[in-house]
Structure 1
Amino acid sequence: MPKPKSASSIRFAAVGDIHVTKDHAGTLRDFFAQASDAADVLLLCGDLTDYGTAEEAKVLADELGSVSVPIVAVLGNHDHESGTPEKVREILTHAGVRVLDGEACEIEGVGIAGAKGFAGGFGRGSLGSWGEPAIKLFVKEALNEAMKLEAALAKLRTSRRIALLHYSPIAGTVQGEPPEIFPFLGSSRLEDPLLRYPVDAVFHGHAHRGTIEARTVNGVPVYNVARPLLLRKRPGQAPFWLFELPREEAAAAAPAEAATTT
């Protein structure tokens, strides 16, 4: 049974790395219905398809038919594999999904800024724009994605804000992965906009063997909601992360810290 909507808080069910293939047809509707029943908004953190094909996107769109709440998503690297991410976005948008790529939206008083993000490493291990043209292009892509996130965050005028990514903005939530692949799992360049435009929480995927929760340098919670990670770390529980924020009017009356439930 769906939980009744709360007058004081809004609930987000977040999950990424679903990696839908044609063989998933008819297998995910119950999962998405469960997430929909538990929350007021469904957040999808990229790698929604396995090879980024139109066929896979159509399967996902059909499976999302069981969702009765707003859906907000970003794409991931797998959604770009076939070279037609715009087709994946078009199919999902037609199904009612708000797919963000440097854009923002507002749902029930909470602002959501979204971008895919990119790789490049963290802190002193970040790849610098120096040397061969290919390296400079790689770093430029990371900078462009960070600028997309910043542009989306700058558009928000709500007091409650969430950032939606595929790649991680911090090293904390990729801990558990082999250290040699850390540079390919995210970039500190994505953390910089989050420091200039504070948010209440960040959600991402991509690191299947990472850590579920860590924090930015200014204390903002970051959640790695890759579905394979949630399945492994929380056996017997539904593989989505449930997060609650006070509604704007409730927060104005009595400011409170965001609550999370698992």
Structure 2
Amino acid sequence: MSKLKVAAVADLHVKEDGSASYTELFSEISQAADVLVIAGDLTDLGKPVEAELLADDLKSCSVPVVAVLGNHDHQGDATEEISSILVKAGVHLLNGQAVELAGVGFAGTKGFIGGFGRHMLGSFGETAIKSMVSESVEEAMRLENALRNTRAQRSLVVLHYAPIVETVAGEPKEIYPFLGSSRLAETIDRFKVSAVVHGHAHQGTYEGQTPGGAPVFNVAAHIEKPTGRPYAILEL
């Protein structure tokens, strides 16, 4: 079984003013990898015009693209329009779904906040807290549905929020609960998963693993990676 090279990056934050173009980066990735994965925060303020700019840059990418949305992509309350633009550009945009490419299953969802381990937020108290926990549980369920629909022997989980605390280390501890949730890791560890990628924690740590041993990579563009480039290369 031949290995699939996946280039993974997150937090591109494409801005409306077009101040940063990713055309050359996507062209480079097309030579270095078989698939490009973008783990959320594709846009900076969740504006359709930002998604249009990204779609235009992606014309230089000649390999399949898999992505999930991030919190910044929700900022402008235009996720449906943003999603439509990206799907029309050929992006496999996942929100609780899975897609198989060259024998590898890609299962993805945004994820959500909630904290890690024994410090994870519980559903108790005010309605607002219960709503937050409910959203976190719902995202974990979306991920479970995606993984259940993955039939491939090799699989990559694509998230925006972190499933483990190790890959957010480097961020202020006070904001750890807002960077991800252990509920995602609990879901991942119920399945055979080859690797997990996420973003969101710009000052986090590149590599860790779930309690069950699944490798986890923080691929935010700001994180230093073995490639020395904004993207990581994973061989699955």
Q: Give distance in 2, aligned partners of 1:35 and 1:112.
A: 18
- Which residue of the partner structure matches residue 237 of structure 1? 228
1:92 to 86, 89, 110: 86
Q: Give distance in 2, aligned partners of 1:29 and 1:165.
A: 23
**SS of the residue 1:228 aligns to:** coil
Q: Give distance in 1, aligned partners of 2:228 and 2:16.
A: 25
Q: Give distance in 2, aligned partners of 1:25 and 1:111.
A: 34
The answer (yes or no) to whether the contact 1:25–1:63 under 8 Å persists in 2 is no
Map 1:29-68 onto structure 2 (within 5 A): 29-68=23-62
Matched, 1:172 2:166: yes
The answer (yes or no) to whether the contact 1:171–1:182 under 8 Å persists in 2 is yes
- Which residue of the partner structure matches residue 114 of structure 1? 108
Q: Give distance in 1, aligned partners of 2:30 and 2:217.
A: 19
* CA deviation profile, 1:57-112 (whole Å, cap 9, x unmatched): 00000011100000000000000000111111110000000100000000000001
Which runs of 5 or more structure 1 residues have no equivalent in the other structure?
Answer: 1-6, 246-262
**Pairwise CA distance, 1:27:** 2.0
**Pairwise CA distance, 1:26:** 6.8
Matched, 1:75 2:57: no
The answer (yes or no) to whether the contact 1:26–1:63 under 8 Å persists in 2 is no
**SS of the residue 1:229 aligns to:** coil
Q: Give distance in 2, aligned partners of 1:51 and 1:119.
A: 19
**SS of the residue 1:83 aligns to:** coil
1:222 to 207, 216, 219: 216
The answer (yes or no) to whether the contact 1:36–1:68 under 8 Å persists in 2 is yes
- Which residue of the partner structure matches residue 192 of structure 1? 186
1:12 to 2, 6, 11: 6
Q: Give distance in 2, aligned partners of 1:27 and 1:80.
A: 21
2:143 to 144, 149, 157: 149
Q: Please give the TM-score of this superposition, normalised by the length of structure 2.
A: 0.97
Letter matched to residue 66 of structure 1: S
RMSD of Structure 2 on Structure 1 (CA): 1.3
The 10-residue stretch of structure 1 (61-70 or 23-32) with the greater mean CA deviation from structure 2: 23-32
Larger radius of gyration: 1
- Which residue of the partner structure matches residue 201 of structure 1? 195
**Pairwise CA distance, 1:31:** 0.8
**SS of the residue 1:72 aligns to:** strand
* CA deviation profile, 1:8-54 (whole Å, cap 9, x unmatched): 21100000000001233672100111112100000000000000111
Q: 1:133 to 1:172 in 2, by over 3 A?
A: same
Seq. identity, %: 53
Letter matched to residue 241 of structure 1: A
Q: Give distance in 2, aligned partners of 1:51 and 1:158.
A: 35
Q: Give distance in 2, aligned partners of 1:107 and 1:242.
A: 16
Q: Give distance in 2, aligned partners of 1:175 and 1:87.
A: 34
**Pairwise CA distance, 1:228:** 1.4
**SS of the residue 2:200 aligns to:** coil
Which runs of 5 or more structure 2 residues have no equivalent in the other structure?
Answer: none
Q: Please give the TM-score of this superposition, normalised by the length of structure 1.
A: 0.88
**SS of the residue 2:92 aligns to:** strand
Q: Give distance in 2, aligned partners of 1:198 and 1:146.
A: 16
The answer (yes or no) to whether the contact 1:122–1:171 under 8 Å persists in 2 is yes
